[in-house]
């Protein structure tokens, strides 16, 4: 079989991997969100199946473009289908607002919707007489999967984005035992995550001191996953804290609650969400800023969404707390490094303190090595990260046949 790396190689963004054997499978077709959107390489010929691991745009954002050329089934869990539909639709809107061309038509987007095929965790899907696909829980965001593809006698495992540790939303992924070929994310191969429980306490204490001095604690969070996790975390510490909930996190929450079996505790999440004030108007935004409160709002990297407006209108006592990975080139990274954000091409200073707490939904360094050990593959491709080369080097030093492909490279295995 042949693997070609069309994107997501030595980078976080535009994941796109082509697996060719009896059938041609496209694992992900994502975009890279920057000031200017980047796309994966085009593929030649037709695709038999698109396999989508989860809804994040770096995996799903360019899937509609496949339907400019052919009409393959796109296999994903139900939550991934609904969440990626929401995120792709929104990214089309954001690109138009930025006066960027959307590189696929509305017709292709609808064609994608018509070709979505659901696959639940643990079920077997025959792609051809010799090839089958199974999804298992990746513990990353609701509906996220680790894909196991049986090709004849060989077992290919693609981790997507995964996390072994337990969070408020998920019990955590299970390692896959015994594989032949492994495609593994490498996002945090260089470092361990801080202890989750003490990080949660730190977040709560930080917020409490902001509220006590009369400010707003602005938490720009990813709409899917982090927003829902943070609200559960805060309610555990404090049932009375005033929390405003804004932007696409609201729609994402409604979708997530539609699929309770993909959550650790849907009832608790529903209770926490209903205890917050959902912001639906400019008047409510002004109200949120007028008194000490917590504001949970996308976008997580301040690329659009209400979090940008909030960031520019906070009082001096306020603070911005980033809780997720900030991709270089995004407003979130600019805010962390230079205390600025860019809106419509104009740089604005942000004068309040900015804190970053590493609440990652990705595998830690320890998780990555543990996963590799259990999977004990003959061949490893390290993808999705800025340290893929180092990770592959470390794995080779342990005796594995590991490589960090470059964009455009192909391997016959
Ligand atoms: Zn992801
Ligand atoms: Zn990703």
CATH of the domain at 177: 3.60.15.10
Asked whether residue 24 falls in the same domain as residue 157, the answer is yes
pLDDT digits (tens, 9 = 90+) for 306-331: 999 999 999 999 999 999 888 888 89
Residue 34 has pLDDT above 80, yes or no: no
Asked whether residue 272 falls in the same domain as residue 302, the answer is yes
**Distance (Å) from CA 11 to ligand 2 centroid:** 10
The predicted structure's pLDDT at residue 269: 98
Asked whether residue 40 falls in the same domain as residue 154, the answer is yes
Residue 133 has pLDDT above 80, yes or no: yes
Rg value, the chain, Cα = 21
Asked whether residue 173 falls in the same domain as residue 280, the answer is no
Asked whether residue 232 falls in the same domain as residue 377, the answer is no
Q: Could you give the CA distance from residue 11 to residue 253 in angstroms, rounded to a whole number?
A: 29
**Distance (Å) from CA 59 to ligand 2 centroid:** 6
Asked whether residue 370 falls in the same domain as residue 349, the answer is no
Contacts of residue 262, defined as CB under 8 A and 6 or more positions apart, other chains included, come to 77, 79, 137, 142, 143, 256
The predicted structure's pLDDT at residue 328: 85
Quote the percentage of the chain above a pLDDT of 90: 92
CB 218 within 8 A of CB 315: no
pTM of this structure: 0.94
pLDDT digits (tens, 9 = 90+) for 142-164: 999 999 999 999 999 999 999 99
Residue 399, phi-psi category: left (phi > 0), alpha (psi -120 to 50), beta (remainder): left
CB 319 within 8 A of CB 268: no
What is the span of the domain harbouring residue 273?
196-356
Residue 218 has pLDDT above 90, yes or no: yes
**Distance (Å) from CA 355 to ligand 1 centroid:** 22
Rounded average pLDDT over 225-244: 97
How many structural domains is the chain composed of? 2
pLDDT digits (tens, 9 = 90+) for 241-296: 999 999 999 999 999 999 999 999 999 999 999 999 999 999 999 999 999 999 99
Higher pLDDT: 235 or 304? It is 235
Closest ligand to Cα 58: 2
Asked whether residue 158 falls in the same domain as residue 230, the answer is no
Asked whether residue 233 falls in the same domain as residue 314, the answer is yes
**Distance (Å) from CA 270 to ligand 1 centroid:** 23
Asked whether residue 350 falls in the same domain as residue 212, the answer is yes
Asked whether residue 180 falls in the same domain as residue 152, the answer is yes
Asked whether residue 298 falls in the same domain as residue 390, the answer is no
The predicted structure's pLDDT at residue 98: 78
Mean pLDDT over each residue of the chain, to the nearest integer: 96
Strands (E), 230-387: 243-245, 277-278, 293-297, 319-322, 340-343, 346-349, 354-356, 379-383
Rounded average pLDDT over 7-31: 97
The predicted structure's pLDDT at residue 33: 78
**Distance (Å) from CA 352 to ligand 1 centroid:** 29
Sheet holding 124-128, edge to edge: 124-128, 131-137, 145-151, 154-158, 181-185, 379-383, 402-403
């Amino acid at each position: 079989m042949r693997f070609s790396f069309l994107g997501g190689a030595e980078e976080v963004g535009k994941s796109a991997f082509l697996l060719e054997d009896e059938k041609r499978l496209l694992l992900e077709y994502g975009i890279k969100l920057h000031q200017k959107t980047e796309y994966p390489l085009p593929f030649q010929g037709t695709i038999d199946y698109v396999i989508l691991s989860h809804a994040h745009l770096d995996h799903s954002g360019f899937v509609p473009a496949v339907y400019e050329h052919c009409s393959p089934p796109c296999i994903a869990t139900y939550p991934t289908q609904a969440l990626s539909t929401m995120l792709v639709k929104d990214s089309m809107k954001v690109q138009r607002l930025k006066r960027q061309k959307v590189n696929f038509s509305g017709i292709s987007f609808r064609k994608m919707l018509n070709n979505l095929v659901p696959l639940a965790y643990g079920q077997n899907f025959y792609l051809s007489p010799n090839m089958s696909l199974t999804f298992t829980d990746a513990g990353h965001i609701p509906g996220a999967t680790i894909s196991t593809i049986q090709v004849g006698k060989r077992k290919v495992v693609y981790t997507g984005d995964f996390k072994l540790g337990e969070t408020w939303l998920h019990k955590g992924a299970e390692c896959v035992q015994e594989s032949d070929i492994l495609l593994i994310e490498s996002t945090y191969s260089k470092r361990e995550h801080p202890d989750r429980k003490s990080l949660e306490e730190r977040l709560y204490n930080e917020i409490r001191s902001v509220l006590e001095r009369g400010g707003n604690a602005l938490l720009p969070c990813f709409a899917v996953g982090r927003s829902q996790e943070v609200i559960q975390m805060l309610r555990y510490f404090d049932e009375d804290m005033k929390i405003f909930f804004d932007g696409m996190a609201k729609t994402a929450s409604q979708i997530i609650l539609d699929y309770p079996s993909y959550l650790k505790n849907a009832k608790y999440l529903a209770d926490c969400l209903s205890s917050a004030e959902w912001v639906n108007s400019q008047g409510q935004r002004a109200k949120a800023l007028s008194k000490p409160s917590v504001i949970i709002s996308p976008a997580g990297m301040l690329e659009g969404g209400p979090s940008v407006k909030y960031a520019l209108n906070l009082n001096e006592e306020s603070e911005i707390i980033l809780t997720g990975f900030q991709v270089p080139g995004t407003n979130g990274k600019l805010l962390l490094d230079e205390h600025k954000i860019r809106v419509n091409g104009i740089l604005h200073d942000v004068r309040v303190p900015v804190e970053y707490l590493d609440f990652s939904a990705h595998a830690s360094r320890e998780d990555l090595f543990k996963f590799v050990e259990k999977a004990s593959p003959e061949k490893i491709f390290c993808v999705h990260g800025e340290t893929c080369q180092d990770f592959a080097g470390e794995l080779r030093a342990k005796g594995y046949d590991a490589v960090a492909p470059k964009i455009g490279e192909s391997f016959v295995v």
